[in-house]
Copies of this chain bind each other. A is one copy, B any other.
Amino acid sequence: MANIYFDYAATTPTHPDVLAKMLPYFTELYGNPSSIYKFAQGNKTVLDVAREQVATAIGADEKEILFTSGGTEADNWAILGVAESYKNKGNHIITSSIEHHAVLHTCEYLEKNGFEVTYLPVDSDGVVSIDALKNAIKDNTILITIMYANNEIGTIQPIKEIGIIAKEAGVLFHTDAVQAVGHVPIDVIDNHIDLLSISAHKLYGPKGPGALYIKKGVKLKAFIHGGGQERKRRGGTENVPGIVGFGAAIERATKFMETESARQLILRDYLIEQVLEKVPFAQLNGHPTNRLPNNANISFDFIEGESMLIMLDMQGFCASSGSACTSGSLDPSHVLLAIGLKHESAHGSLRLTLGESNTKEQIDQFVEALIKIVARLREMSPLYEDYKKNNEV
């Protein structure tokens, strides 16, 4: 049975055109870009082409793009790097309560090492409180790190407003744009962004490469020490094929973004509408409109997410959930709790993230399957039993 993939926020396939561009760099053009013979120097050039492609996608200069081993390293570098380089200025960092673990766990690490971190609350749509942000800024604040768009509920933050506040306060602004780049237009200048994280495998590039945009003038020490790669700021032999693929993928994603995001947005709204109409006790999580064009996150009362996922999987649907059971931890998604969901509802959430392969027909098939699965799981649920008994007429 062919899979129907609704988990593009988890990862995307590498587009065949992108892979085709990468292939020569494995077996034929394998030179180390640091070597000086022509055979290898060509690979230095292709790195710079990719750098330019990444820079163009976010309105940056190619000198401001440093390649990393993914979104997580970029987030770590940005936050730990600012902490280290600006610790003489202060030890306070502001973030939100709905960041990805790459940001949250890095902030928690800093808390154990003498830094103070403010975790801003979000409203029920998942939007960071601007008032809380303004109030949180202190003399010793050195960094605001707030994600561009949330990976679970899709909510897009008021980035420009945050950028202006940061700028006025003289505080650096980092944004984890891993879910946003290639999906919504981004301009680092217009939004006053100092640091921005990207990951290739979220935009039809290969797993592995990522990048950190470091605005000219921002001091940021090396995080991974080694050879002179990336202008001495990130040691390690460059993943040439991966970076070539990253560049090709981001260029491609940017090119098709307008039409493809519009197409996905229509599908997404159709999906949400169908589910909310046909499945009782369901509610949309995240901002109703200000959200990633491909993200739908819906909670279903009385049932648990992992069970839903497994039943969907048995019918070939790939999706994700905020249930703790999925991750083997005990608490459900910190994002869903932060927007005020009860534990039960957080456990019963389903994240569907659309991509280039998805069609209306797939959504129809999905909704049909979902209706039955939810009904069956409710039949098995002691919570639903109690609900019915308590609400019997």
Contacts and interface: CB of A to CB of B under 8 A. Distances in A.
A320 B35 contact: yes
A248 interface: no
B10 A225 contact: no
A135 interface: no
Contacts of A242: 207-208, 239, 242
A37 interface: yes
B236 A101 contact: no
Nearest to A74: B236
Per assembly, the copies of the chain total 2
A240 B3 contact: no
Nearest to A38: B313
A302 to B, nearest CB: 21
Interface string A72-83: 110110000000
Interface string A293-326: 0000000000000100110110001111000001
Given A102-B235, A227-B102, A7 B36 contact: no
Contact of A32 (B3, B10, B328): B10
A26 interface: yes
B31 A11 contact: yes
A69 interface: yes
A68 B68 CA distance: 12
A238 interface: yes
Given A10-B32, A36-B306, A70 B69 contact: yes
Contact of A39 (B22, B71, B318): B318
B7 A35 contact: yes
A36 B224 contact: no
Please tell me the size bucket of the interface on A.
35 or more
Nearest to A70: B236
Given A13-B27, A201-B237, A207-B238, A226 B75 contact: yes
B326 A36 contact: yes
Contacts of A326: 36
A40 interface: yes
B226 A105 contact: yes
A11 B222 CA distance: 23
Given A239-B208, A318-B37, A32 B7 contact: yes
Contact of A105 (B206, B207, B235): B235
Interface in A207-242: 207-209, 222, 224-228, 235-242
Nearest to A320: B35
Nearest to A223: B76
Top 4 closest A-B pairs, CB basis? A69-B69, A72-B236, A102-B226, A208-B239
17 contacts: A7-B40, A10-B34, A13-B30, A16-B27, A19-B26, A37-B312, A37-B317, A69-B70, A69-B73, A69-B236, A71-B236, A72-B236, A75-B226, A101-B228, A102-B226, A106-B225, A109-B225
Given A35-B318, A36-B306, 18 more contacts: A11-B31, A13-B27, A14-B27, A19-B27, A37-B313, A37-B317, A39-B318, A40-B318, A69-B73, A69-B239, A70-B236, A71-B236, A71-B237, A72-B225, A73-B236, A106-B226, A201-B237, A239-B242
